[in-house]
Amino acid sequence: MRAVICRSYGPPEDLVVDEISAPVPAPGELLVRVHSAAVNFPDVLLIAGKYQVRIPTPFTPGSEFAGEVVATGEGTAFGPGARVFGSVMTGAFAEMAVLHSASAAPIPDGIDFAEAAAFGVTYRTAYHALRSIAQVKERDWVVILGAGGGVGLAAVDLAVALNTRVLAAASSPEKLEVCRRRGAEATIDYDREDLKLRIRELTDGNARVIVDPVGGRYSEPALRALGRGGTFVTLGYAAGTIPAIPLNLVLLKGITIRGMEIRTFAGDYPADAARDTAELSQMFAEGKIRPHIGARFPLAEAAAALRHVAERRAIGKVIIDVA
């Protein structure tokens, strides 16, 4: 089968597409013919050897995909022909991938492979952040940084679905236009406007929640604009630097800063994770949430797909069409 291979840590352009043997499903695993895979920012970090977890090279990157089951190990919940999607640590940017049956979900009727591949990681991340970590309530002002990106736009969609008031902040009019089309009530172009002042103005000082997958120079002004007793959720540092926040701000405003990581959340909070997953699956199956796919690339151009994400050009999800 053809697969993208990271032979040594480096930029996307160092990736190669080559023929390798298809993986063999172990007991409990599904062998899936991948139709679509989705790019996540951590893929860029993983191939550069800069992610929290270092995968020994060579490996095939890619952490979420959708496709058709072609073979199974013993004791799986899906049989050949089933349309499934799911996430893994690596291996999705290939014609075949293995997935543990317990990590696979059926693709709802009416949803195509690309939408299913685009749905997993970012929507789960955003939903746990909003529902379990920030515990948003209807009509709360929720400020979302990097709102045009994968996690950001998923957070916009879900915060809108939860009937909160969404203030989307991003770096370009094009990204903000997509946020408005998807239900954001107000927007801030944080590379052209004063983030702290505009959050205060637009929410009248009542920002209850900040969702931050960006970090860098955006976090502190956003945190300073959070209303008293609000919650700041730190999800990632796509801007490349981890901000250092003066702790007195937390004290003076009585706010809470919490982190959430998708890899550990279900282990730490199994009941919340199960409830969130069930609610999210229902919204997806009912068609209440449809991921926005901003760009698509063939498998042979996987490097360009990762470059698109690395250079801040992605709007919503970037898909790699495999079959």
Under rule CB under 6 A, residue 222 binds ligand NAP: no
Check residue 240 for interaction with ligand NAP (CB under 6 A). yes
- Letter for the amino acid at 229? G
102: exposed, middle or buried (C-beta count within 10 Å: 0-12, 13-18, 19+)?
Answer: exposed
Residue 171 sits in the site that holds ligand NAP (CB under 6 A): yes
CB of 61 to ligand NAP, least distance (A): 13
Contacts of 230 (CB under 8 A, 6+ apart): 207, 208, 209, 210, 253, 255, 256
- In the complex, the smallest distance separating the C-beta of residue 193 from ligand NAP, rounded to whole angstroms, is 12
Rounded to the nearest 10 degrees, the angle between the axes of helix 150-161 and helix 173-181 is: 30
When asked if residue 314 is in the footprint of ligand NAP (CB under 6 A), the reply is yes
Given the rule CB under 6 A, which of 61-69, 131-139, 256-264, 297-305 is the region that contacts ligand NAP?
A: 256-264
**In the chain, what is the straight-line distance between the N-terminal and C-terminal CA atoms, in Å?**
12
Q: How far is CA 231 from CA 223, 226, 255, 279, in A?
A: 9, 8, 6, 22
Applying CB under 6 A, which part among 36-44, 54-62, 108-116, 281-289 lies near ligand NAP? Answer: 36-44
Q: Give the residue with the Cβ less far from ligand NAP, 31 or 273.
A: 273
Q: Residues 42, 90: contact at Cβ < 8 Å?
A: no
Closer residue to ligand NAP (CB): 202 or 239: 239
Q: Which of 227, 64, 207 is nearest to 145 (CA)?
A: 207
Which of 37, 155, 238, 322: binder of ligand NAP (CB under 6 A)? 238
Q: Specify the residue, 27 or 49, whose C-beta has the smaller distance to ligand NAP.
A: 49
Question: Is 121 an interacting residue with respect to ligand NAP (CB under 6 A)?
Answer: yes
Of residues 61 and 213, the one with the C-beta less far from ligand NAP: 213
Name the residue with the smallest CB distance to ligand NAP.
Answer: 149
Q: How far is the CB of 227 from ligand NAP (least distance, A)?
A: 23
Residue 41 binds ligand NAP (CB under 6 A): yes
Binding mask 100-119 for ligand NAP (x = CB under 6 A): --------------------
Q: Which stretch binds ligand NAP (CB under 6 A): 61-69, 178-186, 208-216, 241-249?
A: 208-216
CB under 6 A: which stretch of 55-63, 144-152, 247-255, 277-285 binds ligand NAP?
Answer: 144-152
253's CB contacts (< 8 A; 6+ apart) are 226, 227, 228, 229, 230
Residues that bind ligand NAP in the complex, under the rule CB under 6 A: 40-42, 121-122, 125, 146, 148-152, 170-171, 175, 213-214, 216, 235-240, 260-262, 309, 312, 314
